[in-house]
Structure 1
Amino acid sequence: MSTSEYLGKTVILKTNMGDITLGFYPEDAPKAVENFIKLAEKGYYNGVTFHRVIKDFMIQGGDPTGTGAGGESIFGGAFEDELNPETASYKTGYQKGVLAMANSGPNTNGSQFFIILKNNPLNNLYTIFGRVEKGQEVVDQIGLVAVDSNDRPLEDVVIEAVIIR
């Protein structure tokens, strides 16, 4: 894996609510970037929903089961967090538009990710590996959908296709 192979790459998430263009930090989080892009290349995220939406906090997707309990990585299991205090993304933190790995505890990264809706003082527990470059208004719209008591959207918000550039 070479971080330079992912420099300048973008991914367009084509959702049923509009397009979201993501850019990446391969030097800050090489494994997370490689994992996301390779899963996208395989079509892994096609048809997957944003299964968790918390107003004024984040939208979460990447679980093909849609439950928040599923997902996998390209590494054959969960992979470790990439939390280096020296990187620019770590220092900047969880600002609006940040793309980070969702997890269920330390070193449990798989395919799930989240996008921050508003600047948030989260503890540094989630690998930041990219940001929204275009389509933040779509992210904001998704962040306003009606949800049930488990933060699941009442109407599916679907990643219909992923385009890698």
Structure 2
Amino acid sequence: MAKRRRRAQQHLGQESSRRRTSGSNTIPTDVYKPGFPMNLFSNIGLFAVIGSIAAVVMVAAAFLTTTGGNETADPLPTPTVTPTPDPNATPTPTPEVSPTPAVKQFTAPESVVDATKFKYEAVVKTSKGEFVIALDVDRAPETVNSFVFLAKQDYFDGITFHRIVSNFVIQSGDPLGTGAGGPGYTMDDEPNEVSNKRGTISMAKRAGATEFGSQWFINLKDNPSLDYTNPGDKFYPFGQVTSGLDVVDAIGRAGSAQGTPTEQVTITDIEIREVAR
């Protein structure tokens, strides 16, 4: 009995010893390690890195697919539709551009009057009507000759009354319409003792000048300040309105105190009439 108990105790002691050993905190030396590629799945850090790289590649692929590789997506060009020509269509005429007429210029007036045989009248036709001027070829032969020459050259046609001073004068003869135009030549004054009364015509000129070009004016009233007796500038009449003074007054009503017209009045033609003596 004693031997059996000791063997039992020894047996129990061995069993107990084995259990204590297997239950200890000692790390076993024969732990199982999986081979490639299964060991990759057991490496958590490496798996996380691979997952991050895959996500970046997927985002980049999606971006390139959207933009086509450009920073900004280019819109598709709109197709151009070329219309089929209609053989029956009437061609559209090309508008003609009217050239600006050149201002006529002369070196000197030709001799066109004969004071020994004729008297001369000028029929001035305007957008307001017409009036007639008896030209004084006896007192101002050179002035009248220049005026008649320009009229026969149609120099005054289309010219406006560029300066109209209310209750003073109406002025024309400038192809530029600015007060600075002229025919290309000048004429010397022909002094006389005719007064600038209502309806008389005189040549216009610059202040202090003793020569004139193509500009002229008609007095709307008596203007003694322009006469030969004036110590300053003198203007010598070379004609008188004999009919159509109401038209002259109508033109005068299109003026202003400063001389700027309130309405454009145009000369359409000046006809020269020769009256036998």
- TM-score class, shorter-chain normalisation, is 0.7 to 0.9
| 1:123 corresponds to which of 194, 207, 227 | 227
> Which residue of structure 2 aligns with residue 87 of structure 1?
none
TM-score, normalised with respect to structure 2: 0.53
Distance 1:4 1:133 in 2: 22
TM-score, normalised with respect to structure 1: 0.87
Q: 1:143 is aligned with what amino acid? A: G
Distance 1:66 1:101 in 2: 16
| 1:17 corresponds to which of 118, 128, 134 | 128
How far apart are 1:98 and its partner, in Å? 0.3
Q: 1:4 is aligned with what amino acid? A: T
Q: Give 1 or 2 for the bigger CA radius of gyration.
A: 2
How far apart are 1:46 and its partner, in Å? 0.2
> Which residue of structure 2 aligns with residue 155 of structure 1?
263
Higher helix share: 2
Deviations 1:57-81 (A, max 9, x none): 1100000000111112xxx521110
Distance 1:155 1:16, change over 3 A: same
Whether contact under 8 Å (1:97, 1:117) holds in the other structure is: yes
Whether contact under 8 Å (1:46, 1:159) holds in the other structure is: yes
Whether contact under 8 Å (2:165, 2:258) holds in the other structure is: no
Whether contact under 8 Å (1:22, 1:134) holds in the other structure is: yes
The number of equivalent residue pairs is: 154
Deviations 1:2-53 (A, max 9, x none): 4325x42111111000001111111111111000001000000000011111
Higher strand share: 1
1:1-165 equivalent positions in 2, closer than 5 A: 1=111, 2-5=114-117, 7-72=118-183, 77-84=185-192, 90=193, 92-104=194-206, 105-121=208-224, 122-124=226-228, 125-147=234-256, 150-165=258-273
Q: 1:57 is aligned with what amino acid? A: F
Whether contact under 8 Å (1:4, 1:26) holds in the other structure is: no
Query: What is the aligned-residue identity percentage?
Result: 39
Moved more, 46-55 or 150-159: 150-159
Secondary structure, counterpart of 1:131 in structure 2: strand
Q: What runs of 5+ residues in structure 2 fail to find an aligned partner?
A: 1-110, 229-233
How far apart are 1:146 and its partner, in Å? 4.2
How far apart are 1:154 and its partner, in Å? 2.6
Distance 1:128 1:98 in 2: 6
RMSD between aligned alpha carbons?
1.6
Choose between structure 1 and 2 for higher RCO, CA contacts under 8 A separated by at least 6 residues. 1
Secondary structure, counterpart of 1:38 in structure 2: helix
Q: What runs of 5+ residues in structure 1 fail to find an aligned partner?
A: 85-89
